[in-house]
């Protein structure tokens, strides 16, 4: 009986040795150690033995069970390791291969221009501030010195939410018509002194070749002591020269009116006409030249500073607001604003910018398209 069992053991070990897969090993395990397996049957014989027989047979049978079980475990481990090796071998990555050519996205000119502006103004000590596109009446109008009945409200073609959507202060909710509410939010949140730009989307119910219901502005705000118009003019000149990458930028400041600035200044830039296209540079008064309206600005109205919780006797400042889409059109030569928002892949690949080419002052802010 014992030689019979020895043969069975060596047989099992030999088959285990030759097993090529986890499935083979499992089959051998079931045959030996499964409920109806031959080792399980051997174990059951112990119950029918006399205590003396059991004393010698017990350790012997347990020994057989342990040898087979250990061999199965060892084979399993070896097979798993080999499988892992094989899989790793098929999954090697050749890092020396060139990157495959895949369709690539591009950075939209609006994003590009906003990045350029952030870079230029960061160099002048401005940080970037943001505010919600869904605003309330108070931030968008009242705190900017446009009370309920103010005629300037009518000029904004505002998208209002229904009366069931009210601000906590009871005011109407609306889509912000300009980035100027960020002036108020930032002054309230951060106090003074302050130097920020606030790029973002704005909305007006208006649509033709030069107006879309959604467009982009960048707001600028400086609050400090003893700020005057000279600071505003220098800042705008420095910014526009850096943005258009030329020193040949001539500005004309015209008196204007915004409820939130006093005095208010409309800024025009001189251009020439070359091959039927407007090219920035030179005085707009020179022969063959003209002036183009570029942005609105002014000294922050005392009332606005007070609305934002600051003391207007201590703090002054200037603010400006400029259309980002318009800046992009002027710099990169598009002539229809609506195409900006069509999502046409051909337009995007023509006018878009590489995502790997971040605008920097040292590299020239206008990264190459
Ligand atoms: N918010 C104004 C507009 O949208 C622009 C502006 C901003 C004017 C800041 C003066 C100061 O037309």
What's the pLDDT tens digit per position in 190-209?
999 999 999 999 999 988 87
Phi-psi region of 93 (alpha: psi -120 to 50; beta: other; left: phi over 0): beta
* pTM assigned to the model: 0.72
Contact between 221 and 317 under an 8 Å Cβ cutoff? The reply is yes
Q: What value does the mean pLDDT take over residues 309-324?
A: 97
264: pLDDT strictly greater than 90: yes
The CA radius of gyration of the chain, in Å to the nearest whole number, is: 39
Question: Quick one: what percent of the chain has pLDDT higher than 90?
Answer: 73
102: pLDDT strictly greater than 80: no
Q: Given ligand 1 and candidates 178, 317, 324, which is best to mutate, with the most ligand atoms within 8 Å of its CB?
A: 178
* 179-189 per-residue burial string, b: 16 or more CB within 10 A, e: under 16: bbbbbbbbbee
Q: Given ligand 1 and candidates 129, 180, 184, which is best to mutate, with the most ligand atoms within 8 Å of its CB?
A: 180
52: pLDDT strictly greater than 50: yes
Whole-number mean pLDDT of the chain? 92
CA pair distance 110, 61, nearest whole angstrom: 81
Contact between 152 and 222 under an 8 Å Cβ cutoff? The reply is no
Q: How confident is the model at residue 92 (pLDDT cuts 50, 70, 90)?
A: confident
155: pLDDT strictly greater than 60: yes
Measured from the Cα of 179, ligand 1's closest atom is: 1
104: pLDDT strictly greater than 80: no
**320 CA to middle of ligand 1, Å?**
6
The predicted structure's pLDDT at residue 1: 47
- Return the CATH superfamily for domain 109-351: Bira Bifunctional Protein; Domain 2 (3.30.930.10)
The predicted structure's pLDDT at residue 103: 67
Q: What value does the mean pLDDT take over residues 30-53?
A: 91
> What count of other Cβ atoms lies within 10 Å of the Cβ of residue 248?
12
């Amino acid at each position: 009986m014992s030689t019979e069992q020895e043969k069975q053991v060596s047989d099992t070990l030999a088959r285990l040795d030759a097993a090529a897969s986890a499935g083979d090993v499992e089959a051998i395990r079931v045959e030996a150690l499964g409920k109806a397996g031959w080792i399980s049957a051997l174990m059951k014989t112990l119950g029918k033995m006399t205590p003396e027989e059991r004393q010698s047979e017990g350790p012997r049978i347990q020994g057989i069970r342990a040898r087979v079980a250990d061999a199965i475990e060892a084979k399993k481990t070896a097979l798993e390791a080999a499988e892992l090796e094989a899989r790793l071998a098929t999954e090697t990555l050749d890092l020396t291969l060139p990157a495959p050519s895949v369709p690539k996205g591009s950075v939209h000119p609006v994003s590009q221009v906003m990045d350029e502006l952030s870079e230029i103004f960061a160099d002048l000590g401005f940080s970037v501030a943001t505010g919600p596109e869904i605003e309330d009446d108070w931030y968008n109008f009242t705190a900017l010195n446009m009370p309920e009945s103010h005629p300037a409200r009518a000029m904004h073609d505002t998208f209002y939410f229904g009366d069931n959507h009210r601000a906590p202060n009871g005011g109407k909710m609306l889509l912000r018509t300009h980035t100027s509410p960020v002036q108020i939010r930032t002054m309230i949140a951060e106090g003074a002194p302050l130097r920020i730009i606030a790029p973002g989307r704005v909305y007006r119910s208006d649509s033709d070749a030069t107006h879309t219901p959604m467009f982009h502005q960048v707001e600028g705000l400086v609050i400090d002591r003893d700020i005057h118009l000279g600071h505003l003019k220098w800042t705008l000149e420095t910014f526009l020269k850096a943005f258009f990458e030329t020193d040949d930028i001539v500005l004309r400041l015209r008196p204007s009116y915004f409820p939130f600035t006093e005095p208010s200044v409309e800024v025009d830039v001189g251009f020439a006409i070359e091959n039927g296209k407007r090219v920035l540079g030179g005085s707009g008064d020179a022969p063959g030249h003209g002036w183009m309206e570029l942005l609105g600005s002014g000294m922050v109205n005392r009332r606005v500073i007070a609305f934002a919780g600051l003391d207007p006797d201590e703090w002054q400042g200037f603010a400006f607001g400029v259309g980002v889409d318009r800046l992009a059109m002027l710099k990169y030569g598009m002539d229809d604003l609506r195409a900006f928002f069509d999502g046409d892949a051909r337009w995007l690949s023509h006018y878009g910018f590489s995502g790997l080419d971040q605008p920097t002052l040292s590299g020239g802010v206008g990264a190459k398209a």
